[in-house]
Structure 1
Amino acid sequence: MKRSDFYVLPTEDPDARRRFLCKVLEKVVALGHRIYIRTNDETQARQLDEWLWDYRPEAFLPHSLLAAGLNSPIEIGYGDSKPDHREVFVNLALEIDELALEFNRTIEIVVQQPEILEATRANYRRYQGQGYEIHMNDMRRKG
């Protein structure tokens, strides 16, 4: 069964989203899976590419822009770009497209920004409608 994981962070800080993404990437790569990260556009893809190189001096996240054709374990793309695998799809764009629904596992990292909350609620309904097993990981403190 296909699976979709939602990680709900307690902050609206977009940097928290990227920091958490790096933790997820480290774990998924260590398990031997390939990852495709979908961004909104080329600018966001290039920013993420640079950010991953500078993540932590002691960490190495083997990645590249999909357009470079390097076939890295972590590939970053946008628009109509499609990787040659369908293992793990990380959505950093707002909306998902049909490509996301071809993957065995999808990951959404949610921060408390209205546009991201609204988009991920719609994505949740779409994954659910496609029969994905949904896992909610609420990282907010419970009172």
Structure 2
Amino acid sequence: MSQADFYVLPDADPDSRTAFLCRLADKVLGHGLNAYIHVAGAGEAERLDQLLWDYRADAFIPHGLLNSKPDAPVQIGWGDQLPQHRDVYINLALDASEETLKFDRILEIVIQQPDILAATRKNYALYKEHGITPKMHDMRKSSS
């Protein structure tokens, strides 16, 4: 059964969400796992691809767009496309589907924006409906 983790960030800035995503992807790789980052569309995927290249001077996150680098440990995709591995699914899109549940671990990054709050609440309910008890990581407490 999948494990779902929600990381609740203290602010509404989309850049804080992508910065946190980069740290999560780095951590996933550090544990020897593969990650699939699900985004809303091609434009967001290309922007995230560049952000991962620029992440930190002292770190390297081997990654690529799913359709162009199918063997990369971190893959970025959108729509119905999914990678071969089923290690970690990092959801940056506003939806989750039953396909999401096929991954061992699901990570959601929540920022204080109405559309993202509503979408992640809906995803939380989907996971609960399928017998997963999501774990909450309230990053608002650690930032004050």
Decide: shared fold, TM above 0.5: yes
Q: CA deviation at 1:98?
A: 2.2
Q: For residues 67 and 16 of structure 1, what CA distance do their matches in structure 2 show?
A: 27
C-alpha deviation, 1:69, in angstroms: 3.5
Figure out how many residues of one structure are paired with residues of the other and give that number: 143
Match of 2:78?
Answer: 78
Q: Which residue of the partner structure matches residue 88 of structure 1?
A: 88
Q: TM-score, normalised by structure 2?
A: 0.95
- Whether 1:33 aligns to 2:38 is no
Whole-Å separation in 1 of the counterparts to 2:24 and 2:98: 23
Please give the per-residue CA displacement for 1:21-55, whole angstroms capped at 9, x wherever unaligned. Answer: 11111111010111000000011011100111011
Q: Percent identity?
A: 48
Q: Runs (4+) of structure 1 moved beyond 3 Å?
A: none
Report the CA distance between 1:140 and its aligned residue: 0.9
Q: Which ranges of structure 2 fall in alignment gaps of 5 or more residues? A: none
What is the deviation of 1:141?
3.0
**Secondary structure of 1:84's partner?**
coil
CA distance in 1, matches of 2:58, 2:12: 27
2:115 match: 115
Task: Give SS of 1:76's match.
Answer: strand
How far apart are the structure 1 equivalents of 2:88 and 2:76?
12
Contact 1:2/1:133 (<8 A) preserved: no
Structure 1 gap segments, 5+ residues each: none
Match of 1:100 in 2: 100
In the superposition, the TM-score normalised over structure 1's length comes to 0.95
Do the aligned partners of 2:37 and 2:89 also contact (CA within 8 Å) in 1? yes
Shift of 1:80: 1.6
Return the alpha-carbon distance in structure 1 between the equivalents of residues 101 and 94 of structure 2: 15
Aligned to 2:60: 60
Written as runs of structure 1 = structure 2, the 5 A alignment for 1:119-138 is 119-138=119-138
